[in-house]
Each structure stands twice: as C-alpha cells, then as structure tokens.
Amino acid sequence: MSDQLIECIPNFSEARRPDIVSQIIDKIKEVSNIHVLDFHSDEDHNRTVVTFVGPPAEVEEAAFQGIKIAAELIDLNNHTGSHPRLGATDVVPFVPIAGVSMKECISLCHHLAKRVGNELHIPVYLYEEAAKIPERKNLERIRKGEYELLKHEIQSNLARKPDFGPSKLSPAGAVIIGARNPLIAFNVYLDTDDVQKAKTIAHAIRESSGGLISVKALGMLVNGKAQVSMNLTNFHQTSILQVYETILSQAIKLKIRVHHSELVGLVPQEALMDTAIGFLKLDDFSGDQILEQRLNIIKLKSVKDELAILDEIASEEPSPGGGSSAALAGALASALVSMVARLTVSKKKYANVSAQMKEILHQSEKLRSQLTEFVHEDARAFEKVMAAFKLPKETDEQKTFRFKTIEETTLEATRVPMQVAQWSVTVLALCERVAAIGNINAITDAGSAGAMAMASIRSAGYNVKINLADLTDEVTIERLQIQINQIEQRAAKLEDQLLATIKERGGI
C-alpha cells in the first residue's frame, strides 16, 4: 500500500435496493489500490455510507466512478428517506490519513469537483475545509430544503449557484464535496417512538444551538424508535462518552430512556479508548497497556513486515518498480557497510581505526535511512506521473493543464533516482574505505556492499534516462544527462578501486 493515504466516505442516497448498493461498491473496488474498509446501509435513512482508502489519485478516481454510477442508478424524484439529502451521491468527504496534507486534500476536492461538473454535468458544492465560500463550510446550510427546494432555487437564487457544474438539476441532484478531519458518526436510539423528543435532545446537544462543541445532531424516526443522529467532528473536544452522558441526562428530563446506540462506519481507536478510560475512571492508563498494541509493535519489527516491499515490487502493479528497487539496493549496500563497520569497531585488533569506523558507521546509517525513504518516494513520484497521464484532454485548457502536469511530475520522477544515484556513489566510496581498513573477515561483505551500490547506481541511471525521454526542455535534458553521466563515471572508478583493494588484501 502507498505511503500516501486518503480516506473517502461517500454517502449514497440508497439502501433499500441492495443490487444498486452492490453495483456502486463494485465500481469503487474496480479502481486499483483502493481498499473498501466498510459500508453501512440504513433503510430508514435510505442511505449507504461507504468507507475506502488509497493513494490520492486513485481515491479521486474511485470517488468519481462512484458518483457517476450513482447518478445513473438513483433518481431523486423517486427517493424518500429520513436523512436529509441533496443528491444521488449526497456528500463526499476526504480525510488525510498518512503522507498527505489537508491542503493536498483540498486541491483534490477542487479537481474532482471540476471533473464532476464538466464531465457528468452535475452541480457541485464545496464544503468544510474545501469551501470556496465561507458560508458553505457548514454542510447543513448547503443542504437546506434538500433536493426538492434546490430544484426550484438553483436557477433563480444566486446564493445557491454551485461552485462547479450547471445551475440545473437532473434526477441525480447535486453533489457536496469537501475535506475534513476524521469524524465519528454516532447514533443513539431512545425507548420511544416520539420523534419530537429526539429533536428536543438534538437541539439541546448540537453546537449550533449552543450545546456541545463539535457536535452536529438531528432527531428522526428509525426502525420505529426515535433516534438522535450525530456527527462528532472533533472527539478530542467532545468525546463519545460526554455526548452519551449528556443524552442520558436529557432523556431523564423527558422521562424516557436510552435504548441502545450505534457507530456508523469506522471510528478511531483512540476515541473508544478515551471512552473506556472515562467510563471506568482509569488512572494513569496508557495505550501501551493494550495487548493488541504491543503485538502490533512486534509485528512491525518482524522480518516479514520489513520485506513486504518485495511483495509490492513483485505484484502486477507498475509501482513500486525499478526506481524503488534502485533505492532498496542502495539501502542494502549501506546496511552492509554498517555491518562491516560494527564488526571492526568491536575488535581490539582494529582499535587504531576505531574512530574512523565510528564515523563511517554514522555516515552509512544516515545514508541507509535516506535511501530507504527513497524506496517509497520514488513510488509516489511515479504514481503522480501515471495520474497526470490520466488527466482529461478534451478541451484546449485541459490539454494545457495535462501537458504542464506531465512535465512537472516527470521532472520530479527524474529527480528522485538522480538523488538515489548520488547517495549510492557516496555509499560506494564508503565500501572502498571499509574494505581497505575494516575487519579482514568481513572483506567480502564490503565487496557485496559495493556490488549492491553499483546495482543501485546503474538501475537509478536507467530510470533517469527513461524519464528524460518524456521531457521537452532541451536545456534541462542536457543538464540532467551530463549529471547522470558524471555520476556513472565516478562510480566506475570507485568500483575499480574497490576491486583492487579487495584483491590486495586477499579477499578475492
């Protein structure tokens, strides 16, 4: 899985026809590198919430495909449900999970919104962090009056002009797209069918009515019971336990009881841990006391997990590929240099070179860390290139943007293997030094390190040169060509020195 992860939680206005829900989910799953983690359908709401994760470009594509098929299969004119909605795909939030900033998430939202508007001809409103209009940060304001009111106002009321797409509704309605931090969808069912009591409690607890911070709430009837339906937008400010206890207190005032509660979709482990700590009044509790947490630490340190990159390289996916392998070879070369240095420092026989070996060890560990990072960075760079080639090119504006993006991402994809080659040349120089003064019993390990470093340099060079073929700036191409040639020439000289040193010390 990519080091860059975004979570997407689209809400589709359908739950009563499982065949349609399945078609939507299958369409999302068709996109490579997408992992559907969960989906939750509620027939009373007539709404399905899907949760999936993946790298940015693939997450955008999966969301687009979900919106597209939902528009084909769901007619809002024939839709009823207790949950407010504006479209077949009602809301599409993106949440940065790993290696992605909120700013990048916002950019993704704007790009997707433009695609949906231009290609699917569906009006799009941006909300939360992606909102272009401050008043639209709040989802409830955009959704006011739902599909039925928007049908009449979208053409006549300038305040309801979409951010992207036509000012006209089809049976697919409109889509609301945004970027936000993780939230918790939490529902509490009351032991009554009096929906007004649920609305009274919702009014008392939601932030917009002067209630709890970061809590959004509605009262509705679900499965014959009054339900307080909530989104907790920041569980650090208001926890699940605080919300639940407040509802209990409000229910007592109304002479009713809580029947049960539910979580919709996924929830951060920390949120449940905070709830348990608060309810049990645990003192000095730490996450390290959770058994599974400790087991995960062991798992992360396992050799199998460390070598998981090999399974990724061996897969049918084009990334990670040669560039990542080049970086991995360089990292292995650094690791072998570190091993020879440690085997030398620990022996009294080599006390006279101990200080030099400690310095070499310091350098090789720094190189190993950086080259290991390049394993993932090269894959990310290549994924951005692939995403650029998938950009639309129907209009002149799209063609210009696509060309510029391809040029920029290709240049970045050239920069990474160039750096790998540069760092691996430094590793190769260290190989010669440890071969010359290091533990004689590990001299062939120094040679092996040199062989890995050369493999890294040659492989990185291939990747630089293939990317140069896709660039158009002749000055840049010539500069990079000279740079990689100089690196390879220096590497060839260092390799000759290393082989001569090993032969001189009787290693081969």
55 alpha carbon, distance to own chain's centre: 5
Give exposure, 88-118, as e/b (b: 16+ Cβ within 10 Å): bbbbbbbbbeeebebebbbebbbbbbbbbbb
Closest CA to 86 of 214, 175, 208, 198: 175
The pLDDT, as a whole number, for residue 428 is 92
Rounded CA gap, 292 and 294, in Å?
Answer: 5
Catalytic (active-site) positions? 83, 378
pLDDT digits (tens, 9 = 90+) for 82-107: 899 999 999 999 999 888 899 999 99
Give me the pLDDT at residue 1, please. 47
Answer yes or no: is pLDDT of 37 > 50: yes
- Biggest CA-to-CA distance, the chain: 92
Within 10 angstroms of residue 39's Cβ, the number of other Cβ atoms is: 20
Per-residue CA distances from 179 to 34, 40, 126, 129 (Å): 18, 21, 9, 5
Give all domains of the chain, ordered by start, each with its CATH number: 5-179 (3.30.990.10), 184-285 (3.30.70.670), 304-504 (1.20.120.680)
How sure is the predictor about 301, in pLDDT bands with cuts at 50, 70 and 90? very low
Q: What is the model's pLDDT at position 292?
A: 63
Instruction: State the chain's mean pLDDT as an integer.
Output: 88
Does the structure show a pLDDT above 60 at 216? yes
Query: Please, how many CA atoms are within 13 Å of residue 411, restricted to the half-sphere of its CB?
Result: 15
CA–CA dist 430, 310 (Å, integer): 26
Per-residue pLDDT band for 218 (boundaries 50, 70, 90) equals very high
pLDDT (0 to 100) of residue 305 = 46
Average pLDDT over residues 231-245: 91
Helical (H) or strand (E) element with 92:
strand 89-98
CA distance 53 to 132: 25
In the DSSP assignment, the letter for residue 346 is T
Q: Is the pLDDT of residue 55 over 60?
A: yes
In the numeric block, which tokens belong to residue 169? 């509704």
Q: Is the peptide bond before 268 cis (omega within 30 degrees of 0)?
A: no
Distance CA(460)–CA(80), nearest Å, equals 58
Q: Beta partners for 50?
A: 39
pLDDT for position 350? 85
- Report the pLDDT averaged over residues 33-45: 89
pLDDT at 51: 92
Vertex 208: Cα angle to 274 and 7 (nearest 5): 50
107-125 per-position pLDDT tens digit = 999 999 999 999 999 999 9
Percent share of the chain, pLDDT over 90: 53
Phi, psi for 4 (deg, rounded to 5): -100, 120
DSSP conformational letter for 122: -
The average pLDDT across 72-77 equals 96
CA count, 13 A, side-chain hemisphere, 490: 18
Please write the tens of the pLDDT for every residue from 128-159.
999 999 989 888 899 999 999 999 999 999 99
Q: Percent of the chain at pLDDT above 70?
A: 94
In sequence order, the β-bridge partners of residue 47 are 42
Q: Is the model's pLDDT at 168 over the cut of 90?
A: yes
